[in-house]
Amino acid sequence: MNRLARKVAAITGAASGIGRATAELFSAEGARVAILDRNGPGGQEVAAALRSAGHDAHSWEVDLADGGKTEEAVTQAAAHFGRLDILVNNAATYVPRSVEDISRDEWRMVVDVNLTAYFLMARVAAGEMRRQGGGSIVNIASVHRLISEPNSSAYAAAKGGVAQLTRNLAIEFAPHNIVVNSISPGFIRTPMSIVNGVDETTTEHFMNYYVKFGRIPLRRAGLPEEVAAAALFLAARECGYLTGADLVVDGGLTITL
């Protein structure tokens, strides 16, 4: 359909899950895609698959916990493609620890990847976008900004920060015609839904509490492609007057509180 024709999109965490689904959808819609992921071989595999399908894609291996490398990767992607129109901040990490047990290093790593990297990527990307008259930044937050559960303090704090960061960036970047919005996914079936070797969307507790008893009104986990579709809507700027907003893609989970 070419809704992103002649656009260049940088997507973090694009070697798997929501990031990969987003890279595939954006490519199908005409975008040239920069895949940024700490899983170098995985990112290369996705880029190769997209190129074999006739799309323009290139991968960069980058650990988003390293701030300097994070900023450098965005600059390299923009230089490679000659411009940057879209940034999807998607990469995330999760450490299941109680408040008492999580170490400072674990806390710092989770916040660096899930929040600080989003800030750094957005700041550098906005500089590239200003030179061409505008762009779109999509931050992947989480329903953890609204609700939470035990053993997720660092992740929930970081995702709450992403929501507020989105609003602040939207204000500061608006004069440059750069819109900034976020998406808050619920339970999505991705590699991140596997905790301690178990896919939480297939457990007896999930199937009973969230599915059978309707805690999630749509009575199922979501798919990465469904989050990617929301990202496409925001990246394509089909509503040019939308900035600082959050789309909750959770099957209705947060309306049953």
Catalytic residues: 155
- Helix (H), strand (E) at residue 109: helix 104-111
Scan for tokens 């450490």, then name that residue: 95
Residue 197 is encoded by which pair of tokens?
């070797």
Q: If DSSP codes are grouped into helix, strand and coil, which group holds residue 25?
A: helix
Nearest Cα neighbor of 154 from 65, 42, 70, 56 is 65
Q: How far is CA 98 from CA 101, 107, 219, in A?
A: 5, 11, 29
Are 43 and 37 a contacting pair, CB within 8 Å? yes
Q: How far is CA 191 from CA 28, 77, 116, 197, 212, in A?
A: 23, 25, 22, 10, 23
